[in-house]
Amino acid sequence: MFSPRVMPVVALGCSLVLAAPAVVRAQDPVPRPIDLADALRLARQAGPLRQVADARRQIGLGRVTETNQWANPSIEWRRENLGSTLLPDIFATVYLPIDVSGKRLAQRQAAAAGRDRVAREAEADRRTADLEVARAWMRATVAQGHAAIIGDQVEALREIARVDAERLKEGQVSEAVGLRTSLEA
């Protein structure tokens, strides 16, 4: 666990950022650091990159399905010139698509390959999203570690300044050394 003076890591979508130090107060409980497994689990549940990958998969499957559909037959019944002086025109049109070139049959047979391609692309998108989450988690963890090290350095410099201030009171060091050490702290 990090000390309360260290900025906590906050998960936003699938990116991880450090909270501003002004927001963190001494009385606020220190949040539990998030590990990589938790970050990946959260991003897989509600992360925007995962949602984009799922949407791309749905779009791809929709395109494959739409391309492989047979054209719909239709029947049209029309009546024209009913209220005019002309003779009424009543007729029916039947549209029955026939694929004489075999193009639709070949497309339907290629549907399985299209679905496999969409599944592979979706898996690649999911892995890319996981990789981005892992990179963001790593950057946030490194930044949190750096913040802890800097906090420890500040505490050490303050201790040195306190010791030098006591030594200055006793007359063992010059005033310039004491001033320099307190400024460094």
Nearest to 56 by CA among 132, 128, 137, 136: 128
Number of H helices, E strands in the chain: 5, 4
Nearest to 97 by CA among 66, 70, 75: 70
Q: Kindly report the pTM of this predicted structure.
A: 0.55
pLDDT in tens, the chain (185 residues): 334 444 444 444 444 444 444 444 555 566 677 888 988 998 888 888 888 889 999 999 998 888 777 778 899 999 888 888 888 888 899 988 887 887 777 887 888 888 899 999 999 999 999 999 999 999 999 999 999 999 999 898 888 888 877 887 877 777 777 677 777 76
Nearest to 137 by CA among 20, 34, 28, 26: 34
CA angle 60, 46, 118 (to 5 degrees): 15
